[in-house]
Amino acid sequence: MALKIDMSRTYDRVEWGFLKQMMIKMGFGEEWVDMIMQCVETVSYSVVLNRIPGTTFIPKRGLRQCDPLSPLLFLICNGGLSTLLRLEAEEGRLKGIKASRRGPSISHLLFEDDCILFGEAMERGITTFERVLKEYEKCSGQCVNYGKSTVFFSSNTAEPVRATISNQLGIRRSNDAENYLGLPNMIGRKKRRAFQHLKDRIKTKVDSWCTRLLSQGGKEVFIKAVLQAIPTYTMSCFLLPLSICHEMEQLMANFWWRKGQGRCGIHWCPWSQLCELKDDGGLGYRNLAKFNLALLAKSDLGNLPSYTWKSIWAVKGLLLTGLRWRVGNGRNISIEEDVWVPNGEDLLIKKIVNRPNVIKVEDLIDNRNRTWRARLILNTFSVEVAQKIMQIPLAFSSHEDFFSWGARL
């Protein structure tokens, strides 16, 4: 199970004594700690009533909002909760989860004032969580908001166990695809349901603007700047189902061809044609499915990957066909196994003379003068390939080789 804990008024409840002791335990110097505590304790407030400030008073706890030091000091306070959970895990009273079979056990995740705890859906795990949270509340001054906290269970947890744990903790249970920082907390088999909120947000925007008189130029700006920006963040983390992408594009197409006062219009050309470059007769709209692939990064798939990891891995083939090496020092580029010569077809090149000592591109570069070794290149490759190699510019100073995008979708 996973507990998403919501702390009530986190900054306002920080006990100054707890903060000071945490900094001392972490090994900060006494002079430095005193200086930080002066920044924290030398604060005063006054209540403004009817534009008239009241009497100034000095608080006894809390961190100032919008103070650049406050987030960092709060992380130090969170270290107390992290230490308590780590000790419980080391003593065997708390069992976390593993992202993979050989991965480390994770008992908690902390992000600013948000906290997610992982443990067994058993009485031992519940008792441990209750004891740790109460001890942390007593020491730090924090207070768990059980009304806004939620508990998630795996599909293997029996319904009576779920009800017992939820009632004992006083936390509502939820297995729905709730959002956290704009992304769904959990993604199961119903992936369309997890990303349905993106389509709903676009539909809400379209419905609120469909009755307004916008020119075609205004609609173009609205689609590019507002509608197509809505799913961007989510698409950078997940591979969206194609059906969701097509439905979002359908909403945009309907908005583009719609007449005044919300009347439907005729689609004079397909959306795919509108996604072409303006030089090619289109309007430069994004193909959401391809844009989704472009936003995802390359990584190893691993064993029994999650949906999130498979989303990242989905673009491997696309990147391998489109990435090209750009020559820096040439140490990482294989002459015959990597694509690095811009020859119009991006094919691998071959040596016409077998030279065992010429393997990497750095073997073709005179690093003292930062020039190509012309005689070696002409004696190793065909004249056509040699000319293309020597046309590749070299920087005056040596730097690492890097990838660049050399293909068009």
Q: What is the pTM of this model?
A: 0.56
Q: What percent of the chain stands above pLDDT 70?
A: 88
Mean pLDDT of the region 136-153 = 89
DSSP helix/strand/coil, 153: coil
- The per-residue pLDDT for range 290-346, each reduced to its tens digit, is 898 888 754 456 666 666 667 666 766 666 677 788 898 888 888 888 888 876 555
C-alpha to C-alpha distances, 120 to 81, 100, 309, nearest whole angstrom: 19, 17, 24
168-172, 219-223, 401-405: segment of lowest average pLDDT: 401-405
The candidate with the shortest Cα–Cα distance to 177, out of 165, 191, 166, 163, is: 191
Query: Average pLDDT of 106-112?
Result: 85
Distance CA(12)–CA(26), nearest Å, equals 23
CA distance 44 to 59: 7
In this predicted model, what pLDDT tens digit does every residue of 256-294 receive, in sequence order?
888 766 677 888 899 999 999 888 889 999 999 989 888
Q: Which residue has the higher pLDDT, 200 or 338?
A: 200
R_g over Cα of the chain: 30
CA angle 358, 362, 363 (to 5 degrees): 30
Mean pLDDT computed over 384-402: 87
**Strand bridging mode 172-173 / 150-152:** parallel
Helix axes 288-295, 242-257, angle to 10 degrees: 130
- The pLDDT value recorded for residue 21 is 94
pLDDT in tens, 340-370: 887 655 567 777 777 778 889 999 999 888 9
For residue 409, pLDDT over 50 is answered with no
pLDDT-based confidence at 22, cuts 50/70/90?
very high
CB 401 within 8 A of CB 367: no
Task: Calculate mean pLDDT across residues 100-107.
Answer: 82
116-120, 313-317, 389-393: the lowest-pLDDT one: 313-317
Q: How many other CB atoms are found less than 10 A from the CB of residue 409?
A: 11
* 102 vs 379: which has the higher pLDDT: 379
User: How high is the pLDDT of residue 178?
Assistant: 65
Q: Which of 164, 241, 154, 236 is nearest to 196 (CA)?
A: 241
Non-local CB neighbours of 14 within 8 Å, separated by 6+ positions? 61, 62, 63, 73, 74, 77, 140, 141, 142
Asked if residues 209 and 262 have their Cβ atoms less than 8 Å apart, the reply is no
**Tokens standing for residue 123:** 């009485």
Burial 34-59 (b: 16+ CB within 10 A, else e): eebbeebeeeeeeeeeeeeeeeeeee
Higher pLDDT, 406 or 251: 251
Q: How many whole angstroms separate alpha carbon 323 and alpha carbon 402?
A: 10
What is the pLDDT, as a whole number, of residue 303? Answer: 64
Residue range 33-66, pLDDT digits in tens? 999 999 999 989 898 988 898 899 989 999 988 8
% pLDDT > 90, the chain: 28
Q: What is the mean pLDDT of residues 110-120?
A: 84
Average pLDDT score over residue span 233-254: 91
What is the rounded average pLDDT for all residues in the chain? Answer: 85
Q: Which residue has the tokens 């001890």?
A: 135
Burial class (CB in 10 A: 0-12, 13-18, 19+), 143: middle
| CA pair distance 290, 322, nearest whole angstrom | 13
